[in-house]
Copies of this chain bind each other. A is one copy, B any other.
Amino acid sequence: MMNRFLSAEAARLAPYTPGEQPLDAQYVKLNTNESPFPPSPRVVKALSRAEVLKLNLYSDPACGQLNGAIAARYGLQPANVISGNGSDEILAFAFRAFCGLGKGVAYADITYGFYKSQAALFGLEATVVSLREDLTLHVDDYMDFPGTVVIANPNAPTGIAIPREDIQRLLEADPNRVVIVDEAYVDFGAESCVPMIFRYDNLLVTQTMSKSRQLAGGRLGFALGSEALIAALNRVKYSFNPYNVNRLSIIAGAAAMEDQAYFETCCNAIRGNRAWLTGELEQLGFTVLPSSANFVFARHDQISGGELYQKLKQNGVLVRWWADSGRICDYVRITVGSMEQLGVLVDELQRLLDEL
């Protein structure tokens, strides 16, 4: 980027490209893993006119109401919780808190693309560990790494989960090494590491309300961990943006957290839709990786990933595809939307394949 004002550090950044958020056309939008369901009725009720009228006042920088609701849900103390403006912000806090000169970070070659951007943001030495041939992650490949390890579980965009015991081995191998488990998609079928927080003070679990709690537009993420880890994150937060969560998101997040029944209903529906979608895709000849998330990662021998993406888009269906992505360039990632959305997708796929 040619820009005479840019610092050398900013010139070296690796900005993230988010999935398309088209405003100009109505797509069947299956590209950014949003929930097809509206937020909980409790959220709608909580965001009252009376609360809107208080927007002239700052939000609580400690996010007491929200962190309290999250802590209660997971049987933790508020000192084990920090909330942020999406889990992206929380991850950035963690990268700064635990990594630096001589303290690098390791993550998979195929995983959430944002780890790379944030490593570049803080000028970190990043060790990129290849997934195995079958796109699975083996914790043994991280066992000797001396810095911070970040593992998305289930992984994105593969959707493949690893058992909690694998993370446990990693935590035990070096109690001074922080392991960040990004559980953005955990509620759709993977084993959460949250129950291990009391045993391992080097475990940080990050989660988001964007997927299983229907609040992508509210920008809410959080981390759970030992008091020492959360204190370190707060140190960064108060150096960056003390009032990092706005009033309405605090209220919405607390209400969403308290509506466990709605949460479970929605997660169950997604799991059901995922099973249906997987079956349909396989019947159409797709290879579908075993997903524990609210998306599936699939490829077809007769059509390239790029062509699939383009043709679907032309016909009004958005999925995610990564160009120039090496061994995953023939895959597309498809969000598990509503049955209506998935019906349209499957019909379009059928038509595309018939035309080949």
Contact = CB atoms under 8 A, between A and B. Distances in A.
A100 B10 contact: yes
Contact of A55 (B5, B215, B236, B238): B215
Contacts of A100: 7-10
B239 A121 contact: yes
Nearest to A266: B56
The 8 closest A-B CB pairs, nearest first, are A7-B100, A217-B247, A15-B238, A9-B100, A219-B246, A56-B214, A55-B217, A18-B242
> How many monomers of this protein are in the complex?
2
Contacts of A229: 5
Nearest to A85: B85
A239 to B, nearest CB: 4
A330 interface: no
Interface in A56-92: 56-62, 64, 85-86, 88-89, 92
A117 interface: yes
Contacts of A202: 5
Contacts of A236: 10, 13, 121
Given A13-B235, A18-B242, 12 more contacts: A5-B176, A6-B97, A7-B101, A15-B238, A29-B57, A38-B53, A38-B55, A43-B55, A86-B241, A88-B240, A117-B239, A246-B248
Contact of A121 (B5, B56, B219, B240): B240
A16 B242 contact: yes
A6 B247 contact: no
B98 A6 contact: yes
Interface stretch (A44-52, A138-146, A273-281): A44-52
Contacts of A15: 234-235, 237-239
A55 B216 contact: yes
A233 B71 CA distance: 35
B238 A117 contact: yes
Contacts of A16: 238-239, 242
Nearest to A44: B52
Contact of A218 (B53, B210, B231, B248): B248
A52 B43 contact: yes
B248 A217 contact: yes
Given A53-B39, A53-B44, A235-B10, A60 B92 contact: no
Nearest to A211: B56
Contacts of A9: 96, 100-101, 122
Interface string A104-123: 00000000000001101110
Interface string A219-263: 100000000110110111111111111111100100000000000
Contact of A96 (B10, B17, B239): B10
